[in-house]
Structure formats: structure tokens, C-alpha cells
Structure 1
């Protein structure tokens, strides 16, 4: 595929697998030309990365994929979401624009100014956001062609305590939050995820974060594309805010393996 290799990585799975493990927020990498436009000091930026990065989620996905009976595909963002956030809409429909956290963030998790007034996001969108979206669209279309359907499982994490940028931080913060979409999250997918992650002290729906990621070309139009967001509360597997992973990582990876294996069986490819 034609993409910038430093921006994202597509790791092939089994040819007949419908599952794409999508890991958009695990990296701390910021290219120097992008870093130069960020207003935070080096120390403040490291602290911001501690809070904003879904640390170790790429490792959770990798460990899970390696153990699956039918290997899922993985789409992993190689850059920090402080470069661009590939899961935002680059227009006025995205509510996170209200707190300066649209496709290109202008505010930090603590609502400090991240980029100058009047910053032109266009070059970042052209270089990073649009190629990412196009590649994810192609990845979904490849799964539709090969397997007859696509199942996008977003792998995220979130802090135990709400951060100032959160628009819905007052809601429940269960160990596992399952983000859903009324069109793209079928009951069977939700039930399978609930069963796979039942051992972590409870799962919740759409709180503190809601929704799923589906490429715009398919969103709300193609019911062959299923999607679920898995948000893992960070105290279940790591030292917060940006510390090392602990023993919970292996258990979470095992639960994700169980979910992917169940999806493979229901697809008749195990």
C-alpha cells in the first residue's frame, strides 16, 4: 500500500479473517517539524503524553493477535495523537472541537493552549490524517472482499480519574467500557465482548467514552461493517499516568484473544 511507513502500520492477519484490531492512540512519537509548533516545554509535553497516550495498547493487541486461532489484522498508528487524531472528524460536526481537540488538537488534556492562535491544520491533515483514513478504508474493503464482512475492534484506554478535557467525565468509569454505534454494533458482537471481558469487575456501555470508528465511506451505510470500541481503564493494567504495564496486560490480551476467536467462529472461519 502507498503510505508513509512512519505514520501507521498494517500488520496482516489470516486471509479469511474479518477482524481488524485498530490501535490509534498508543504511540508517543512526534516528528520534529510537528514538535516545533507545539507550545509546551519538553517537560510539559512529556507529562501531556503521559495523560493523552493509550499506553501499551499496541502491546495488548499484539499479544492477543499472536494467540488467536485465526490471526486478526492490525492497523496501528505509529504517531502520537498530538500529531493528528485519526478518529476525529476534520470538520464542524466533531463535538471535541469545543475543547480544542478535533482532528488536530489546539488544546491539551488540561485545556492549555497546545498550538498558536490561527494555526493552519491543513498541512497536517494532508500529510497524516487523509492518508490514514484512506488506508483504513482500503483495509476494511479488503476484509469485505476476502471475508464478506469486516469487524473493527478499537483498542483504547482511559485514565481512572477524569481529565479536564473530557466532555462526559461525570459518568461511570467501569474497568471496561464498550463503545457502541446503533448501526454498526450488532447485539451478537456486544454480547461476545461482554462475555470475553466479564472477569474484570464489570463492563459498561458508552461511558465515559462512546461510539466506534468506521470509515466515513461505510459509516451508516454498510451493515457488513461491524465495530466496537474497547476502552480499558488504565489502573487495570498499568501504573498511571504513563508508567509501565503490569500483570493485568496479559489477562486483558487473553480476553481480547477470546473475543477475536469467538468472532472467527461466528464467521465460520475457525
Structure 2
């Protein structure tokens, strides 16, 4: 079978196609045998050839690429088992791919988890927001809360799982996932927040501190809300209402009084900074 795999890969490369899209006639010609001989050696079906190509570490094609299938499979496993329960063996089984192909595409488990976090975190929406930000401080803060609330709550719940693992194991895989994505995350937040600092609308705090004040209450709410919701008399506001509460609290904490008064028209209800 090894020589047939080599022939299939060679024919695919020459034609610029996935192995699954290369006709058996072309594979047989590359292997120097007839199509009927090729089919006989494959047991009458090309499924055995596709599986052998897959086991060699190459996706034969004809379906979503290994990268896409693996990210989707890993995300579902994270939601079901948490980060600790995600192994490359489990991902390969769920994604119907080989272990060598996962190592080739992601360079190991940490690379796969980082790709899952990037796909399901706030990064894509945050960078889109940073490219076209609102002009006013309140609009920026509200948009940031909306972006992160969506990332924290949408299914599969990847971001809460990452933070849960991070809190439980500061040196575990979540820490490495965050380290891989944090520079981009902070860069996007810096582009959105620091202009308001320079304009005198926000307190001159480091971006990391401004981000902690921004995300801390929201993340705490998202992690604890599923526990509180079933309790009698919990009386939790909706997620949208909660976001509005956190927007107001953030502005009262870090917006400079003069900026708040100017943006509110001086009606006395503007967010006020602390001492």
C-alpha cells in the first residue's frame, strides 16, 4: 500500500488537487499499473487508499480540511470535558483524522487549543471593532462589553472553560493558550482605550489595569450566573441588562469627571470617577 500512497500523493501534487479528487486512472498511471489492477489491490474501492493516505499524515480531501475539523472537534470536547479532558487522541477520533496530521497542522496540543481559543474568543470581533471604533467613550465601553459578553456566553463555551482552567491550574494549558493570544488581545484593547486616556476622558492607567476593571465583573458574572440562575429568588437581570449595569459601573470608576459631564451635556447624571 505504501507505493500506492506515494503514487496518489505524487499525482495529487502534479495536478494541484486533493487526493480524493484525483481520478483512479491518474493514480494508476503514476503507479505504473492499470486501473483494474489498482482497484484489485484496493479491494474494489478507493476508501482503503484514502484511509492509507490519511494515516500517512495527509488529509486526502473531499471534505473540510483537517484544521477546520480538528478545531470544531476540539471546541466541542472542551465544552464537554474542559481543557484537561482534551487529548489529541480524542480530537483525532472526533475529527476523523490521524495523529500525525494534527501534529503537522498544529505542532501539538497547545497549538490546537490556541487555535480553538482564537476562533471562539473575542479576538476577531475585537480587532474588527478596533479597526472602526466608536468616537465617544461610552459607545466604546458599551461595544467592548457587548463583544466580550458574546464571546463569554456563546456556544460552545470555550472562553469560560479556558478561564476556569487558568484559575485552577495557573501553569496549565490555559496559561499557554492565553500567552499565545494575549499580545493580540491587549493590542486591540490598547487601540480602543488609550486614545481616550490621551484625550483626558479615561484615567491614565495602564491598559492591563483598564482591561481588568472592564472584564473582571463581566467574567465573574458569566462564570457564576449558571450556578445562581436555578436558585429561588435569585432575580438576576438579563444578560443585556447586566451589561448595561457594568458599563455604567466602569464609567463611574475610570471616566474622568470632566469628560463624563461633557458627554452627558452637564445634566448631573454623568459617570463620576473616584477620588
TM-score range, shorter chain: under 0.3
Which of the pair is proportionally richer in strand?
A: 1
Give the alignment's TM-score, normalised by structure 1: 0.28
Which of the pair is proportionally richer in helix?
A: 2
Give the alignment's TM-score, normalised by structure 2: 0.28
If asked which structure has higher relative contact order (CA below 8 Å, sep 6+), I would say: 1
